[in-house]
Chain A
Amino acid sequence: MYKYIIRRILVFIPMLFALSVIVFALAKAAPGDPFTTMLDPNVDREVFEERKEALGLNDPVPVQYARWIGSAVQGDFGESIVYNGRPVMDLIQARFWNTIYLGLVALFFTIIVAIPIGIYSARNPYSMLDYAATGFGFIGLAIPNFFFGLLAIYFLSIKLGWFPPQGTVSGSEVSGFQEFVDRMHHMILPGITLGLASTATYMRYMRSEVLDVLGSDYIRTAKAKGMTDHNVLYKHTLRNALIPIITLMGFEFGVLVGGAVITERVFNYPGLGTLFLDAIINRDYPIVMALTLIFGVFILVGNLLADIFYSIVDPRIRYD
């Protein structure tokens, strides 16, 4: 098992290297540079030319890549161009935990809603609640994130005043436990908004998997030998039904760190998604590169975790 994990981690390194080459090449191939869109008639274009020269943006792409990878392996991801020389890592760090917390809250909502309802629907198919859950599932999948977010803000924040409409915290004066509570309070609406679509997906998955397993031969055998419904469900059915959900969550882990641009925008919740999108639009190469690598690492780790969980849930799966 440990050998397997170490081997997998070693494989990450060439993969990340390949990823960085591809992303760097693509980023440089995109037309324009960080200064293209700074169209200010009061500023002489020469000034931007000088800046480009100073930043080495006029060098051949392989030279630029060598310079970037040279400092990246030493842990230095350089300085943002658009944010005027602020270290990339500082900018990422400020938003990283926001994104992680929001993702976890969304995942939490997804799990507490989707799994119980999924199980219930499977055990009582074609019941009222099953139809209601199916209906909710379709709505959840069909409704665009931003629209749900705006509705939530309008009714729950502005009309009813239950939740703060924007941001992650009420101000810099709150601290300690108060701050924790305040941040949680700010996270509920964006968390639900972000988790909505995956809740619907998980619920559908859970329902069909449980139904599937419940119809299989070994369950019939278990029932035949007199096992209670309860034991059949929790001892045999759930374990088997969870496998595809774990795969989904493995992917989700990477997606979660990638941030949620639209939810972040609507709730003005500063996270990595918005930072990444803005960096791409502004051609802020150092940020694009650092974030791509981080996303890459998380997707790989997410898949690794999924593989490890398989072996826990399903003892037949062994790695060596």
Chain B
Amino acid sequence: MLNKKFWYLLLVLTIFAFLLVACNSESSDEPEDEDPDTEQEEESNEDEEEESEQEGPVAGGEIVGAMDTAPAGVFNPIFYQEAYEANILDFTHEGLVSQNDSLEFIPSLAHDWEINEDQTEITLYLEEGVTWHDGEDFTADDVVFTYTTIASPGYVEAGGIRTEYVTPLEGYEEFNAGETEEFAGVTAEDDHTVTFHFAEPNVNPLYYVGFPIIPEHVFADVAIEDMPTHEATLDPGKVIGTGPFAFTDMVEREEYVLTRHDDYWQGQPYLEKITWQIVDQSVITSLLETGDIDFVADPSGVPAADYEMVEGYDNVELIEQPDFGYQIMGFKLNYRTEEDVEAGTIDPDNWVENPDVADQQVRQAIAYAIDRQGLVDGLLYGRGSVINAPIAQQFWAYTEDVPQYEHSTDEAEALLDDAGYVDTDGDGFRENPDGEEWVLELAYPTGNQIRERSAPVIQENLEAVGIKVNLRQPKEMSAYVEDVMENDVDNGVDLYLIGWSLGSGDPDPSGLWNITAAYNMSRWNNPDSDELIFKALEAPDAFEQEFRKQTYQEWQELFATDLPAVLLYAQNKIYGFNERLNGIDPLPYSMINDPHLWWVDDAE
């Protein structure tokens, strides 16, 4: 009996095995089919190298991009939250204005605009003849609809987080509270003219009008709470924008296909198809070499450690530019009280000072003690820079004209001696001025490997000048943020590591460094700082960029002197793309710029 059963089982298994072998050989035909193609590509590339100079862009062709994590799947500009969705929305949706190389606002869906004297109103004239992916006309009503939706009650409850674009607009509070039927903040003058009304004079109105526009004719009848799960938010072919490419197909979490929008208002895009593939980070560079993927951009990019290897690939070109953001080591200057944490209030009057890092001279000494260039060279393979002010270095507002804290153990030791922190018991570490043991607790999160590896280096740097540092066990991000921000009672943390990505729209640092900002994890309480930050936003002086620039310079100097945090480094973004791809013209904050002008030189 069993004998028979066993042989049946074996038979079934063998058949299965043959099936596998069969499909193996069957589908191995496909790569063979592809192989000659890719060889041809390579050959033709070589041939064309000289010719391609004269040849202009050709229509046609497909490219494949790679990112290392799949988007959550919310393809709606007003509800998405992640950089991965942005990679798709950047091709499919557009705002009224966009930004150029020097971060100035330039026309996009609006070709022109007027701002009134006191900067409370901006009127934009929209391009005519712009059509949505489904063929409908784009009008001023779509703009009104987009902003009204973000302002409407229930937007945040439905999962939206972009309220910053509407809060400064007139009538926001009344409308959001349900007191008015009409949103007074954005009005359509006619089909192609739209006016934004600000409640107060606004320093940078163009930033607020740049939000990507969604189609009214698609979403008009959808209740706001249903929008995030509506098919026009989730499903390829149903997501409608005005951009050069339409999101037409996907294999969820594996492949996202963008097809050109033939009636694109700036002219038909050259490329027929752009496919985003989700590829594990460890495989991206190899596939770049084989030509299976044509480009890798934000947020993963090419790892700094692989730069030289990829540079050696004949078929890949690299773009290296500074990231919008920085890594810091903050000083926990104050803690909140239990009651404040409980109530969720941020009230500097109740804060409890942390004596361990309260002395400005001590903080400056620590800045001198850390070999930041060493971090850039050692951990980033030189693919980054040391910065000295907490404003993204691409902005007009950034200045190098602040104290630099170039690595110097002598300076550090002199400052510490001067501040009274000397080694009194001969154990090799300094005691505080009262002669008590002085240990700084450094907390840091897991997740970013480079940051994780910087912690022990910092400890070593500080111990070299006699500061005893206790490295805490790194915690996973959620638990870490609880410790240093959400629940930051006196839990002994003195130093913390965190990184910030900044927006490219405006250099205003208030979201991170205002005294009452939640993200002011240092709980830096310097009224002069708040005064300067507000001054830089105050009408009418701040209408002049020169005025803002000077004010921000003063602020950066104050920051670098008072030092609520040491700015460790700004990492570089490294984008890579196959040389058959042309027309790439990256912006300081993104590689995706005018993708309708991208073309490949092997298009048929």
Is A221 close to B, CB under 8 A?
no
Is B54 part of the binding interface, using a Cβ–Cβ cutoff of 8 Å? no
| B486 CB contact (under 8 Å) in A36, A161, A165, A282 | A36
**A37 to B478 Cα, complex, angstroms:** 6
- For residue A136, give the distance in angstroms from its CB to the closest CB of chain B: 19
* Distance, CA A38 to CA B80, complexed state (A): 12
Residues of B within 8 A of A267 (CB): 280
Q: Are B251 and A266 in contact (CB under 8 A)?
A: no
A153-176 interface mask toward B, CB cutoff 8 Å, 1 = contact, 0 = none? 110001001100111111110000
Whether the pair B481, A171 counts as a contact (CB closer than 8 A) is: no
Give the residues from 1 to 48 in chain B that come closer than 8 angstroms, CB to CB, to chain A.
2-3, 6, 13, 16-17, 19-20, 23-24, 26-28, 30-31, 35
Is the C-beta of B111 less than 8 angstroms from some C-beta in chain A?
A: no
Instruction: Give every chain B residue within 8 A of A51 (Cβ-Cβ).
Output: 156-157, 159, 161
A44 engages B159 (CB within 8 Å): no
Rounded to whole angstroms, the CA-CA distance of A112 and B251 in the bound complex is 32
Given A169-B251, A283-B478, A266 and B280 contact (CB-CB distance below 8 Å): yes
A-B pairs with CB below 8 Å: how many?
173
Residues 247-279 of chain B, each 1 if its beta carbon lies under 8 Å from chain A, else 0: 001111111010000000000000000000111
Interchain CA distance A48-B160 in the complex, whole Å? 9
Shortest distance from the beta carbon of A103 to any chain B beta carbon, whole Å: 15
* A83 pairs with B2, CB closer than 8 A: no
CB of A67 closer than 8 Å to a CB of B = no
Tell me the bound Cα distance from A33 to B479 in angstroms.
9
Alpha-carbon distance between A265 and B30 when the two chains are bound, in angstroms: 25
For A160, the closest partner residue in chain B by CB is B31
Q: How far is the CB of B15 from chain A (nearest CB, A)?
A: 12
Given the interface pairs A47-B163, A85-B159, A238-B6, the reply to whether A162 lies near B28 with Cβ below 8 Å is yes
Q: What interface size band does chain A fall in?
A: 35 or more
Point out the residues of chain B lying under 8 angstroms from A180, CB to CB: 23
B344 engages A49 (CB within 8 Å): yes
User: How many whole Å from A210's CB to the nearest CB in chain B?
Assistant: 14
A188 and B20 form a contact (CB under 8 A): yes
Given A47-B156, A49-B344, A265:B280 Cβ within 8 A: yes
Bound together, the chains give a CA A47 to CA B155 distance in angstroms of 10
Question: Is the CB–CB distance between A32 and B481 below 8 Å?
Answer: yes
Tell me which of B66-74, B92-100, B453-461 binds A.
B66-74
Pair A42/B519 contact, Cβ less than 8 Å: no
Q: Which of B485-503 contact A (CB under 8 A)?
A: 486-487, 498, 500-503
A266 touches B282 (CB 8 A): yes
CA distance A309 to B163 in the complex (A): 59
Q: Given A84-B228, A112-B13, A172-B249: A165 and B287 within 8 A (CB)?
A: yes
Residue of B16, B253, B286 with highest tally of chain A CB at under 10 A: B253
Q: How far is the CA of A146 from the CA of B234 in the complex (A)?
A: 32
The answer to whether the Cβ of B103 comes within 8 Å of any Cβ in the partner chain is no
In chain B, positions 145-173 with a C-beta closer than 8 Å to chain A are 156-159, 161-164
- How many angstroms from the CA of A20 to the CA of B502 in the assembled complex? 40
Cα of A47 to Cα of B13 in the assembled complex, Å: 57
Q: Is B188 interfacial (CB 8 A cutoff)? A: no
Residue in A37, A40, A84, A167 whose Cβ sees the most chain B Cβ within 10 Å: A84
Query: Most chain-B Cβ atoms within 10 A of its Cβ — which of A168, A185, A235?
Result: A185
Please give me the residue from chain A that is nearest to B284 by CB atom: A166
Please give, as numbers and ranges, the residues of chain A lying within 8 Å of B292 by CB-CB distance.
Answer: 165
Q: Is A45 part of the contact surface with B, judged by Cβ < 8 Å?
A: yes
Contact residue range for chain B? Answer: 35 or more
Inter-chain contact B478/A239, CB cutoff 8 Å: no
**Bound CA–CA A51/B160 (angstroms):** 9
CB distance from A92 to the nearest CB of B (A): 13
For A170, list chain B residues within 8 Å (CB).
Answer: 30
Collect the chain B residues with CB atoms within 8 Å of residue A44's CB. Answer: 163-164, 511
Q: Which residues of chain B are within 8 angstroms of A111 by Cβ–Cβ distance?
A: 13
> B254 and A270: CB pair below 8 A?
yes
Query: CB-CB < 8 A to B255: which residues of A?
Result: 167, 171-172
> A182 near B: Cβ within 8 Å?
yes
Q: Is A108 an interface residue (CB 8 A)?
A: yes
Q: Are A85 and B158 in contact (CB under 8 A)?
A: yes
- Kindly state whether residue B438 has any CB partner on chain A within 8 Å: no
CB distance from B324 to the nearest CB of A (A): 11
Residue of B nearest to A158 (CB): B286
**Residue B113, interface by CB 8 Å:** no
In whole angstroms, what is the CA distance A172 to B478 when docked? 36
Per-residue contact bits, chain A 44-76, to B (CB 8 Å; 1 contact, 0 not): 110111110010000000000000000000000
In contact, A41 and B161 (Cβ under 8 angstroms): no
* Contact call B20/A41, Cβ cutoff below 8 A: no
B476 at interface by CB-CB < 8 Å: yes
Q: Of B24, B253, B286, B487, which contacts A270 at CB under 8 A?
A: B253
Cα distance A82–B84 in the bound complex, in angstroms? 14
Interchain CB contact under 8 A, B254 and A158: no
Q: What distance in Å separates the Cβ of B225 from its nearest Cβ neighbour in chain A?
A: 8
* A40 contact set on B, CB distance < 8 A: 161, 501
Please, how many angstroms separate the alpha-carbon atoms of A39 and B286 in the complex?
32
Q: For chain A residues 14-43, which have a beta carbon within 8 Å of chain B?
A: 30-33, 36-43
Once the chains bind, are B164 and A43 in contact (CB under 8 Å)?
yes
Nearest CB of chain A from residue B57's CB, rounded to whole Å: 26
**What chain A residues lie within 8 Å of B157 (beta carbons)?**
50-51, 54
Asked if A304 CB lies within 8 Å of chain B CBs, one says no
Asked if B120 CB lies within 8 Å of chain A CBs, one says no
Q: Whole-angstrom distance between the alpha carbons of A315 and B220 in the complex?
A: 68
Is the pair B156, A166 in contact by a Cβ cutoff of 8 Å? no
Are the C-beta atoms of A42 and B72 separated by less than 8 Å?
Answer: no
**Chain A residues whose CB sits within 8 angstroms of the CB of B24 once the complex forms:** 162, 185, 188
The interface residues of chain A lying within 8 Å CB-to-CB of B253 are 94-95, 268, 270
Contact B519 A39 (CB under 8 A): yes
Closest to B66 in A: A166
B398 within 8 A of A: no
- Is there contact, CB below 8 Å, between A50 and B156? yes
Asked if A234 is at the interface (CB within 8 A of a chain B CB), the reply is yes
Q: In the complex the two chains form, is B280's CB within 8 Å of A168's CB? A: no
Counting CB contacts under 8 A, is A141 at the interface?
Answer: no
Residue-wise, chain B 328-342 has the 8 Å CB interface mask toward A (1 for contact) of 000000000000000
Contacts of A45 in B (CB 8 A): 518-519
Question: Which residues does chain B contribute within 8 Å of A281, judged by CB atoms?
Answer: 476-478
Is A293 among interface residues, defined by CB-CB distance under 8 A? Answer: no
A184 within 8 A of partner (CB): yes
**Binary per-residue interface labels of chain A (276-300) against chain B in the complex, 1 for a CB within 8 Å, 0 otherwise:** 0000011100000000000000000
Complexed CA–CA distance, A283 and B251 (Å): 26
Contact B74 A83 (CB under 8 A): yes
* CB 8 Å contact bits of A256-270 with B (1 = contact, 0 = none): 000000000111101
Residues of A within 8 A of B477 (CB): 32, 36-37, 281
Contact B277 A32 (CB under 8 A): no
Complexed CA–CA distance, A52 and B23 (Å): 50
B79 at the A interface (CB under 8 A): yes
- Nearest CB of chain A from residue B210's CB, rounded to whole Å: 13
Tell which of A39, A184, A235, A265 touches B23, judged by Cβ atoms closer than 8 Å: A184
Q: Which residues of B contact A188 (CB under 8 A)?
A: 20, 24
Which residue numbers of B lie inside 8 Å of A, CB to CB? 2-3, 6, 13, 16-17, 19-20, 23-24, 26-28, 30-31, 35, 70, 72-74, 79, 81, 156-159, 161-164, 228-229, 234, 249-255, 257, 277-280, 282-283, 286-287, 290, 292, 344, 476-479, 481-483, 486-487, 498, 500-503, 511-512, 518-519
Top 6 A-B pairs, shortest CB-CB distance: A32-B478, A41-B511, A45-B518, A270-B253, A31-B482, A54-B157
9 new A-B pairs (CB below 8 Å) besides A181-B23, A231-B3, A281-B478?
A36-B477, A42-B511, A83-B74, A84-B228, A85-B158, A85-B229, A94-B253, A111-B13, A268-B279
Chain A residues in the interface with B (C-beta under 8 A): 30-33, 36-45, 47-51, 54, 79, 82-87, 94-95, 108, 111-112, 150, 153-154, 158, 161-162, 165-172, 180-182, 184-185, 188, 231, 234-235, 238-239, 265-268, 270, 281-283
What are 6 A-B interface contacts by the 8 Å CB criterion? A37-B478, A42-B503, A44-B164, A51-B157, A150-B282, A153-B283
